[in-house]
């Protein structure tokens, strides 16, 4: 599974520019589903058809896109000013490398002359340096998108990479699709677009699929770092099952069924109460007439930075839990 995660995290795909990562995923799932389609917004949807009359229609979603940057201005010296795709903290940017769709690399710099060096830099103080000497020499154009660039590294049983949010969820869906030998349900594996800018892809997919139950697979913050977030989620504690976040309250029936399936399989889980942020489940929950929805999250440190960190055992447990959930009857 590590090789898969490496391919996914090292692929390019900021919000709105998911073509390259979508092609990678499409290659990974070839032959695993009954049919695969791409909807008008760009979501990749792989469907396993219903095998039993009593089966439900299930929507699973993990988003392809990553946070990133878009060129908004090129100055006379050839430096590119940017706006953001998603919740990028400028503190995580300075000195980081970024990559554009054509593979070109750049470095994020910050204006040296600032009024107060103790303040978090503003976005308009950042720029991308691609080695140009003037505006005419700069190969970038307005609207070009970039994402963080950093190769995946191992630290014992922990993985460190950019875009684990949410390529780790994508990896979990792929591995679940591979391991799902039988299910009574019709399952739509949705690899969604534009989650980081408002869960747009999942909303469109949920409207079209009209599923009976929805689950998002994403990351969540971990509260196990020095003076970290005050939340009872830690790396190595197992999948985090959502209770609520800033945009949704998970259906308690979905949450309880996930916890029941975890107990049956002897899997440790945690509950997630997230103060800020959300997942594709928020859009799924209110599509059309609404659907019971929940989320499984991988505890993650340093989210929306070039060096996000997860525990491999948590990832594997998410695959085991999701597979068991889909193999059994679902009655809510």
The set of catalytic residues is 195
Task: Please identify which residue in the block is written with the tokens 């998911």.
Answer: 18
Sign of CA dihedral 7, 158, 176, 216: negative
Q: Compute the residue count for the chain.
A: 332
SS (H, E, C) 166-222: HHHHHHHHHHHHHHCCCCCCEEEEEEECCCCCCCHHHHHHHHHHCCCEEEEEEEEEC
From the number of C-beta atoms within 10 Å of its C-beta (0-12, 13-18, 19+), residue 7 rates as: middle
Q: Which residues of 138-177 are buried (b: 16+ CB within 10 A; e: fewer)?
A: bebeeebbbbbbbebeeeeebbbbbbbbbbbbbbbbbbbb
Q: Phi then psi for 42, rounded to 5 degrees?
A: 110, 0
């Amino acid at each position: 599974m590590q090789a898969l995660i490496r391919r996914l995290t090292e692929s390019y795909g900021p919000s709105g520019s998911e073509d390259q990562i979508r092609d990678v995923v499409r290659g990974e799932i070839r032959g695993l589903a009954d049919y695969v389609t791409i909807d008008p917004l760009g979501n990749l949807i792989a469907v396993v058809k219903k095998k039993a009359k009593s089966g439900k229609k299930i929507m699973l979603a993990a988003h392809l896109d990553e946070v990133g940057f878009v060129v908004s201005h090129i100055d006379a010296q050839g430096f590119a000013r940017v706006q953001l795709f998603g919740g990028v903290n400028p503190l995580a940017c300075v000195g980081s490398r970024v990559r554009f769709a054509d593979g070109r690399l750049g470095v994020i710099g910050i204006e040296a002359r600032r009024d107060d060096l103790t303040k978090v830099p503003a976005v308009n103080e950042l720029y991308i340096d691609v080695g140009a000497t003037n505006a005419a020499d700069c190969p970038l154009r307005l609207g070009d998108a970039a994402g963080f660039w950093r190769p995946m590294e191992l630290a014992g049983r922990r993985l460190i990479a950019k875009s684990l949010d949410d390529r780790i969820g994508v990896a979990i869906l792929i591995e679940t699709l591979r391991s799902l030998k039988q299910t009574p349900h019709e399952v739509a594996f949705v690899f969604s677009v534009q989650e980081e800018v408002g869960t747009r892809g999942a909303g469109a997919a949920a409207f079209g699929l009209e599923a009976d139950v929805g689950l998002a697979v994403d990351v969540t913050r971990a509260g196990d770092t020095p003076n970290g977030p005050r939340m009872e989620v830690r790396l190595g504690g197992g999948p985090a099952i959502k209770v609520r976040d800033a945009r949704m309250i998970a259906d308690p029936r979905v949450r309880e069924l996930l916890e029941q399936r975890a107990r049956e399989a002897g899997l440790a889980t945690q509950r997630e109460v997230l103060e800020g942020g959300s997942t594709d489940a928020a859009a799924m929950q209110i599509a059309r007439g609404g659907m019971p929805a929940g989320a499984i999250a991988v505890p993650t440190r340093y989210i929306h930075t070039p060096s996000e960190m997860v525990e491999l055992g948590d990832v594997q447990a998410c695959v085991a839990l999701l597979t068991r959930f889909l193999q059994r009857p679902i009655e809510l």
